[in-house]
Amino acid sequence: MMQSNNLVYVANAGVLINIDGKKVLIDGLNNAAYPLYKSTPLEISKQITEGISPFDHIDVMLITHNHSDHFDVESVVRFLNNNSDAAVISTNEVVSAIKKQISDFLEERLIEIPLENKCEKRIQVKGIDIVAFSLAHDGIEHTEVHNLAFLIDGSKKVLHLGDGAPKKENYEALQLNQYKIDLLIANFPYVSLPSARNIIEEYIKPKKIAVVHLPYRELDRFGWIHSAKKSYDRVKASFVVTEFLEDIGASIEL
């Protein structure tokens, strides 16, 4: 039987990736301190932490960095306690925060990626090939934040950038286009900004883009959603096919 490869939108930049019969959750448990961005809904958080379908049998949880709109330590601890086979992979800051709240016997399921900026590391966990890339976080106020991008390297190639800054210095040495990426998961400035679109076309070259990290529409006083979609509409005839993920539960076939 053919495996169904798809992505389900969970919250803010959070997605569940079903690929080759495996389940990978990226930034799926969060509790945003800044209410502009989507926290994981309580019902979905319960499904994830308690292993209820469609969030049952998650093999690997990837967390890009230690910001509340991407990571909620209490929820991740509940997930670890209730899901005995799952591994969690993240930065030193995230892993350290989790270790403070768990028993020693759970620590073997935590994998820390201590990369310097613009470096990469390949690992295999639960039969899943993953490449982690260390990218500088977007925004000068977050220069000390350790941000990881993750590539799921299966029959389909899916790259999640976390909050990596859309600057060529982040990408020019990584040769991401060698992976022939099927789906790029990126924050909305990667589509809004001409310079960021150039980075996608020159250094990543994905077949498709899923835009995440959009604010709640009713709180979007800066007009970011309208601006991102308008920018894409101007170039869609020549740019990478792009889908905007706004509604929790939306899915994309890989």
CATH number, domain of 46, equals 3.60.15.10
Residue 62 lies in a domain: yes
Is it the case that residue 2 has pLDDT exceeding 80? no
- Which residue segment(s) compose the domain that 38 sits in? 6-248
Taking residues 147-174, what's their average pLDDT?
96
- Report, as an integer, the average pLDDT of 34-62: 96
CA-based nearest residue to 212, from 236, 170, 248:
248
Whether the pLDDT of residue 186 is over 60: the answer is: yes
Residue type, 93: E
Count how many domains the chain has. 1
CB 250, CB 44: distance < 8 Å: no
Judge whether residue 106 has pLDDT over 90: no
Residue 254 lies in a domain: no
Residue 1 has what pLDDT?
40
pLDDT in tens, 15-39: 999 999 999 999 999 999 889 999 9
pLDDT over 50 (residue 195): yes
Residue 54 burial (10 A CB sphere; 0-12, 13-18, 19+) = middle
Q: What would the mean pLDDT of 218-237 be, rounded to a whole number?
A: 97
Instruction: Please indicate, yes or no, if residue 189 is contained in any of the structural domains.
Output: yes
- Cβ of 217: how many Cβ atoms within 10 Å? 10
Determine, yes or no, domain membership for 30. Answer: yes
pLDDT, averaged across the chain: 94
Q: What is the pLDDT of residue 114?
A: 85
The pLDDT score that the predictor gives to residue 3 is 62
Alpha-carbon span 30 to 252, nearest angstrom: 21
1 inside domain? no
- pLDDT tier, 144 (very low <50, low <70, confident <90, very high otherwise): confident
Tell me the mean pLDDT in the region 191-209: 97
Over 60: is that where the pLDDT of 8 sits?
yes
From CA 25, how far away is CA 8, in angstroms rounded? Answer: 9
Query: Would you give the distance in Å from CA 83 to the centre of its chain?
Result: 20
In this structure, is residue 81 part of a structural domain? Answer: yes
Confidence at 104, pLDDT banded by 50, 70, 90: confident
Q: What is the pTM of this model?
A: 0.96
Q: In the predicted model, what is the mean pLDDT of residues 133-154? A: 91
Tell whether 239 is covered by a domain: yes
Is residue 80 one of the residues assigned to a domain? yes
Which of 194, 105, 100, 199 minimizes the C-alpha distance to 149? 199
Rounded to a whole number of angstroms, the distance between the first and last alpha carbons of the chain is 17
